């Protein structure tokens, strides 16, 4: 096994693969900044360039590109409040408020460093899981996937920002949005209104971009101020501080990374749920939970640490049994097949070096991107001090192209515009948006796995041990959230009464 | 993007809430009605969710009615005690939890009719342009007009801006990714 | 996937056109050669300096997409076009793009790689949203038409039909499938019919990899998928392939018995028609009503492309086996499949699509 570890490293360090990795990193860096185009879309479009390359070169190029887009996507999320993918929406929740407070430098430093730490955790999880990889992956079936969506949905409550009723309503709306399209049980087009474009459901990328990017652009157009506002000092400080923060809050980052790597393993559900679990967990353990959503450094670190770790986790089921965990890994799986590799036992025996090369590529590419990005952070952070109107045309084009690129159709631009409208209405009248997103991400998965569980196992799936564990976790989280909300409300009521009396 | 908002008085906030609540009630009721036509297994989730959503919306409506009927003591910032259990927290203006979103909320609330009017027209202009003539035409026209009129940028800045964005898009979409760009229904440029 | 590299599709397929017909058309073709050739040359000049769009009805990055890109890479030059670009237009399982191609201007500048088998099934199942007639497309040629196979779990006791019947005696036999109306659903339904025992098609899996994972976990008994997907799953030890879904052996896997030899003879027509629909595979088509000379240009360019060593080398290198078939043969194949379908088959398609 140690041979394979070394051989994997040496093959990655060969001039050819390093060269390809650098090209991949460069492309990923530029493309990753564009929301919606970064992750899977860029990989899919670059796939043909790998035709005919040896496997390790393919992964140096594609995987190098993928890990970089995750990181640079966070840069856009922090600076402009537009998440690049549905799986990295949590970065916006605290990263962007920091930028608006004039702390873009610190936020970028923190997100960059925590991404690196998270990526290393994810890569190590992949490397360490190799001896036990198959039984682990096979232990999770539709019932476990279903329970995980339930755990994810519970976070609607903690994302409601103290507006439980409105949060639940938005969550329901999000879940309903996820159900649009041909249903898997009876083949009925639900809520499609005769539009073929709606048969495959509403794309989550245009929804995320619109929901978060729309209000941001409108806000710039209305206020005509820079993102960081007039009040903030124009001096950009704190990239170094952000990096230090990562190590100061190392526990938060490490736990977020472990959650990402662990839950990222679960195909389909993992990536989108992991970020909210990591974020919610950080909030519940933080000393300053009230700062979450306002520019909390632990919140951002949790999101950043989780984001790149889940990429490592998502590789695990793909390598073990050929089951891709995310859209990006589905494309990597195709790259596997094209380069003549077969996921499964072969990857753990004859091609073990290739498997380890993927671990190394994840680590090395992440280190390189940190080194490359560091000198750019200051100039990038300066963008938040640019006059708002100057940014508007650029941002408008960014959101339009981001919505369009996935499927090349105008329809998605209208989905994006509608989501932007919903986002603005939500903010104007104080309705929470995050539960809507969470519902939209999880709704169809929740339904599909519930039906699959019951048609595969009847009701006996409820007795599966992992299901019970997850159910206990769900109840515990629910109680903890309820407790926090109650306590918070009581504290505040007491405080406001005091204020009135004095 | 209603242009009717004036200043952020509690009454106007409630006014938006009424519309949203009624809108959501309509959506949930519609979703429920549509699901009645489907076979049981396909309808199970939509029906469950729309029913729950409908009940929650009605609860919210109840909270709004309660809030309107019960005279709020002017001096107490937190109009607590309205409606149903946990949602009493939500009615607090300037909730400390809201942070960044609150800032957006303030900007949206403070903007007057004229500002909304101008912003909405720009956006409509952009999307109509995108729909009719496609991105390649809309990009330079919108950028130059917006930068000149709103950002008061110099012609040089406009030129560099347009060249910069167009160049970047060309590099990325055409040369690197071979992705098509949104074309209008009446394409002027391109194929 | 080794060993399944391209093979001449003509051999072993059951749909050779009636001999008389082909002689007749040969005579007709010979008579027209000088005239057509001259006009075709003119017509082919049309593509010079033009950009041809090859529409792929699925997202970029998938297997279908890889075929589209492989063809586009070489066919543009053969056609003499300035450029042949791939445009991904996913939606409604391919119906969206196929509808648009059906209605597109028949100038040859928009062609599409069509999942012919899925579209035939959708059309004849009366699926909502179908606005085309598969038979009416101007078929340019088939790229690949791999057969479907039937797989079971790696540790499953199933080796023969009797084993399935035995399970069926104890409990319901579970057959995995993606959503209703998908090609996998139709094969699953057919499979459920021909095994003649208590069985249930379990729908709702997101795709073949997820079904194979369930198969590997032992949750499912059977799954019918494309040969290449099943072979990948065999390597991943999540599946063991049992039979070919058809009437003839697959040359690359001669040990696999055709389903027609396993099940009762009365199901032969059903299996035959399904095999021929599957054989229509992934084929290139232009909108209906294209000028015959221009279609000829496209067909010639396609034939040259799929015969070129560069193309075949790439197909082998990428583990994307091709089984080329000329446009004329594809058209005939689809005609036979659609006209000769037994009522039982059509009924089954209807059940799969209409609610």
Give me the domains of chain C, ranges plus CATH numbers. 19-145+281-353 (3.40.190.150), 148-267 (3.40.190.10)
pLDDT value, residue A211: 92
pLDDT value, residue C29: 47
Q: How does residue A335 score in pLDDT terms, banded at 50, 70 and 90?
A: confident
B143 is a domain residue: yes
pLDDT value, residue B59: 93
| Chain B residues touching residue A492 (CB < 8 angstroms) | 78, 89, 92, 96
Residues B97 and B54 in one domain: yes
Residues B14 and B105 in one domain: yes
Which chain B residue has its CA at the smallest distance from C84's CA? B178
The DSSP output letter for C156 is -
Find the radius of gyration of the CA atoms of chain B: 24
Residues B141 and B82 in one domain: no
Contact assessment for residue A205 and residue A466, using Cβ atoms and an 8 Å cutoff:
no
Residues B105 and B126 in one domain: no
Q: Per-residue pLDDT tens for A395-442?
A: 999 899 889 888 888 899 999 999 999 999 998 888 888 899 889 988
Q: Which helix (H) or strand (E) holds C222?
A: strand C222-226
B48 touches chain A (CB under 8 A): no
Q: A407 phi and psi, to 5 degrees?
A: -120, 5
pLDDT value, residue A501: 63
B58 is a domain residue: yes
Residues B140 and B59 in one domain: no
Taking CB atoms and an 8 Å limit, are A222 and B107 in contact across chains?
yes
How confident is the model over A193-211, as a mean pLDDT? 88
Instruction: Beginning with the edge strand found earlier in the chain, give each strand of the sheet holding C138-144 in spatial order.
Output: C83-88, C51-56, C110-115, C282-286, C138-144, C325-326
B180 touches chain C (CB under 8 A): yes
Residues B53 and B123 in one domain: no
Residues B128 and B36 in one domain: no
CB-based burial label for A46 (10 Å; 0-12, 13-18, 19+):
buried
Q: Per-residue pLDDT tens for A133-176?
A: 888 888 888 999 899 888 888 888 777 767 888 999 999 999 99
Residues B34 and B90 in one domain: yes
The list of chain C residues with pLDDT below 50 reads 1-34
pLDDT value, residue B1: 39
pLDDT of A237 above 80: no
Residues B96 and B172 in one domain: no
Q: How does residue B4 score in pLDDT terms, banded at 50, 70 and 90?
A: very low
B84 is a domain residue: yes
Residues B16 and B101 in one domain: yes
Residue C17 vs residue B159, higher pLDDT? B159
Q: Which domain holds residue B133?
A: 113-176
Query: Which of B92, B110, B128 is the C-terminal boundary of a domain?
Result: B110
B183 is a domain residue: no
Question: How many angstroms separate the CA atoms of A275 and A88, rounded?
Answer: 7
Residues B97 and B163 in one domain: no
B92 is a domain residue: yes
Residues B102 and B40 in one domain: yes
Q: C70 phi and psi, to 5 degrees?
A: -65, -45
CA–CA min distance C266, chain A (Å): 29
Query: Which of B77, B110, B143 is the C-terminal boundary of a domain?
Result: B110
Question: How many angstroms separate the CA atoms of C348 and C355, rounded?
Answer: 12
CA–CA min distance A112, chain B (Å): 22
pLDDT value, residue C14: 34
| Chain A residues touching residue B75 (CB < 8 angstroms) | 500
Question: How many angstroms separate the CA atoms of A451 and A444, rounded?
Answer: 11
pLDDT value, residue A313: 87
Q: Per-residue pLDDT tens for A271-329?
A: 778 888 888 888 888 888 888 888 889 999 999 999 889 888 888 888 888 888 788 88
HSE at residue C34, side-chain half, CA atoms within 13 A, is 1
Task: Tell which B residues from 57 to 76 touch A, by Cβ distance under 8 Å.
Answer: 57, 59-60, 63, 75-76
Closest C-alpha to A95, from A267, A307, A271: A307
Q: How does residue A500 score in pLDDT terms, banded at 50, 70 and 90?
A: low
The number of distinct structural domains making up chain A is: 1
Contact assessment for residue C227 and residue C149, using Cβ atoms and an 8 Å cutoff:
yes
Q: How far is CA B104 from CA A74, A392, B108, in A?
A: 21, 16, 6
Using DSSP's 3-state secondary structure scheme, residue C13 falls into coil
Q: Per-residue pLDDT tens for B75-99?
A: 444 444 333 433 333 333 333 444 5
Q: Which domain holds residue A495?
A: 2-501
pLDDT value, residue A124: 92
Q: What is the mean pLDDT of chain A?
A: 87
B185 is a domain residue: no
Residue B186 vs residue C191, higher pLDDT? C191
| Chain B residues touching residue C86 (CB < 8 angstroms) | 178
Task: State the chains in contact with A (3 or more Cβ–Cβ pairs under 8 Å).
Answer: B, C
The number of distinct structural domains making up chain B is: 2
């Amino acid at each position: 096994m140690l041979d394979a570890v070394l051989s994997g490293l040496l093959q990655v360090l060969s001039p050819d693969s390093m060269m390809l990795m650098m090209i991949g990193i460069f492309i990923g860096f530029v493309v990753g900044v564009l929301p919606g185009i970064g992750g899977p879309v860029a990989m899919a479009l670059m796939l043909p360039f790998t035709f005919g390359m040896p496997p390790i070169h393919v992964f140096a190029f594609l995987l190098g590109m993928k890990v970089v887009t995750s990181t640079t996507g966070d840069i856009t999320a922090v600076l402009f409040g537009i998440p690049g993918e549905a799986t990295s929406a949590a970065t916006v929740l605290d990263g962007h408020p920091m930028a608006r407070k004039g702390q873009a430098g610190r936020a970028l430093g923190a997100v960059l460093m925590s991404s690196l730490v998270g990526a290393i955790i994810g890569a190590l999880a992949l490397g360490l899981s190799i001896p036990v990889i198959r039984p682990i992956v096979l232990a999770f079936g539709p019932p476990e996937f279903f329970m995980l969506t339930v755990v994810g949905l519970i976070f609607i409550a903690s994302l409601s920002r103290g507006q439980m009723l409105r949060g639940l309503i938005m969550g329901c709306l999000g879940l309903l949005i996820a159900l649009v399209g041909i249903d898997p049980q009876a083949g009925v087009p639900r809520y499609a209104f005769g539009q073929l474009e709606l048969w495959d459901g509403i794309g989550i990328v245009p929804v995320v971009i619109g929901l978060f990017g729309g209000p941001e652009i409108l806000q710039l157009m209305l206020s005509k101020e820079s993102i960081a506002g007039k009040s903030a000092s124009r001096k950009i400080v704190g990239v170094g501080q952000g990096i230090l923060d990562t190590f100061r809050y190392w526990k938060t980052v490490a736990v977020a990374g472990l959650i990402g790597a662990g839950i990222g393993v679960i195909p389909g559900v993992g990536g989108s749920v992991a970020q909210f679990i990591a974020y919610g967990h950080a909030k519940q353990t933080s000393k300053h939970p009230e700062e979450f959503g306002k520019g909390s450094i632990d919140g951002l670190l949790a999101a950043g640490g989780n984001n790149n770790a889940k990429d490592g986790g998502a590789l695990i089921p793909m390598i073990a049994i050929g089951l891709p965990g995310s859209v990006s890994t589905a494309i990597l799986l195709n790259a596997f097949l094209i380069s003549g590799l077969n996921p499964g036992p072969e990857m753990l025996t004859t091609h073990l070096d290739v498997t380890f090369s993927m671990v190394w590529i994840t680590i090395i590419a992440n280190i390189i991107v940190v080194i490359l990005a560091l000198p750019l952070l200051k100039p990038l952070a300066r963008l938040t001090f640019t006059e708002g109107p100057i940014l508007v045309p650029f941002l408008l084009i960014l959101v339009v192209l981001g919505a369009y690129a996935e499927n090349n159709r105008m329809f998605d631009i209208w989905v994006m515009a509608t989501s932007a409208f919903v986002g603005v209405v939500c903010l104007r009248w104080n309705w929470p948006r995050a539960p809507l997103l969470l519902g939209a991400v999880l709704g169809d998965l929740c339904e599909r796995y519930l039906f699959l569980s019951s048609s595969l196992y009847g009701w006996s799936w409820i007795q599966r041990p992992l299901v019970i564990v997850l159910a206990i976790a769900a109840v515990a989280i629910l109680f903890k959230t309820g407790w926090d909300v109650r306590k918070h409300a009581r504290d505040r009521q007491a405080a406001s009464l005091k204020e009135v009396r004095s | 993007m209603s242009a009717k908002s004036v200043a952020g008085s509690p009454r106007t906030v409630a006014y938006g809430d009424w519309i949203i609540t009624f809108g959501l009630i309509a959506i949930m009721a519609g979703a429920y009605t549509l699901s009645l036509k489907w076979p049981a297994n396909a309808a199970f989730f939509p029906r469950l969710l729309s029913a729950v959503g409908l009940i929650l919306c009605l609860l919210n409506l109840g909270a709004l009615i309660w809030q309107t009927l019960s005279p709020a003591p002017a001096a107490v910032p937190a109009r607590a005690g309205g409606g149903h259990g946990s949602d009493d927290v939500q009615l607090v203006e300037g909730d400390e939890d809201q942070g960044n979103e609150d800032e957006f909320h303030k900007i949206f609330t403070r903007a007057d009719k004229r500002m909304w009017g101008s912003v909405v027209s720009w956006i409509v202009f952009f999307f109509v342009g995108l729909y009719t003539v496609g991105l390649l035409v809309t990009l330079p026209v919108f950028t130059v007009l917006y930068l000149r009129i709103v950002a008061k940028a110099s012609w040089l800045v406009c030129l560099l801006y347009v060249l910069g964005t167009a160049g970047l898009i060309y590099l990325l979409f055409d040369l690197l990714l071979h992705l098509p760009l949104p074309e209008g229904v009446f394409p002027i440029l391109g194929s | 996937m080794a060993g399944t590299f391209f093979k001449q599709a003509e051999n072993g397929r059951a749909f050779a056109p009636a001999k008389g017909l082909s002689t007749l058309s040969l005579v007709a073709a010979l008579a027209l050669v000088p005239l057509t050739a001259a006009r075709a040359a003119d017509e082919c000049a049309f593509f010079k300096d033009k950009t041809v769009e090859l529409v792929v009805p699925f997202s970029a990055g998938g297997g279908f997409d890889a075929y589209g890109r492989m063809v586009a890479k070489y066919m543009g030059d053969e056609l003499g076009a300035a450029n042949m670009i791939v445009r991904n237009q996913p939606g409604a399982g391919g119906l969206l793009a196929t509808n648009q191609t059906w209605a597109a201007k028949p100038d040859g500048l928009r062609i599409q790689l069509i999942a012919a088998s899925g579209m035939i099934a959708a059309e004849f199942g009366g699926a909502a949203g179908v606005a085309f007639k598969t038979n009416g497309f101007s078929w340019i040629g088939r790229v690949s038409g791999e057969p479907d196979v039937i797989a079971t779990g790696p540790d499953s006791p199933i080796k023969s039909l009797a084993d399935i019947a035995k399970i069926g005696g104890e409990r319901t036999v579970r057959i995995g499938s993606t959503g209703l109306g998908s090609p996998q659903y139709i094969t699953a339904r057919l499979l459920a019919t021909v095994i003649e025992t208590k069985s249930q098609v379990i729908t709702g899996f997101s795709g073949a990899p997820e079904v194979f994972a369930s198969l590997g976990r032992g949750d499912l008994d059977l799954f019918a998928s494309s040969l290449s997907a099943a072979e990948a799953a065999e390597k991943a030890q999540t599946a063991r392939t049992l039979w070919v879904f058809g009437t003839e052996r697959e040359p690359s896997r001669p040990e696999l018995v055709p389903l027609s030899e396993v099940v009762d003879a009365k199901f032969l027509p059903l299996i035959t028609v399904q095999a021929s629909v599957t054989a229509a595979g992934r084929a290139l088509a232009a909108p209906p009503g294209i000028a015959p000379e221009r279609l000829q240009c496209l067909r010639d360019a396609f034939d040259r492309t799929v015969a070129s060593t560069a193309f075949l080398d790439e197909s082998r290198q990428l583990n994307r086996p091709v089984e080329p078939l000329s446009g004329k043969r594809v058209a005939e194949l689809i005609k036979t499949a659609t006209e000769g379908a037994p009522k039982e088959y059509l009924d089954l398609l209807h059940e799969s699509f209409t609610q």
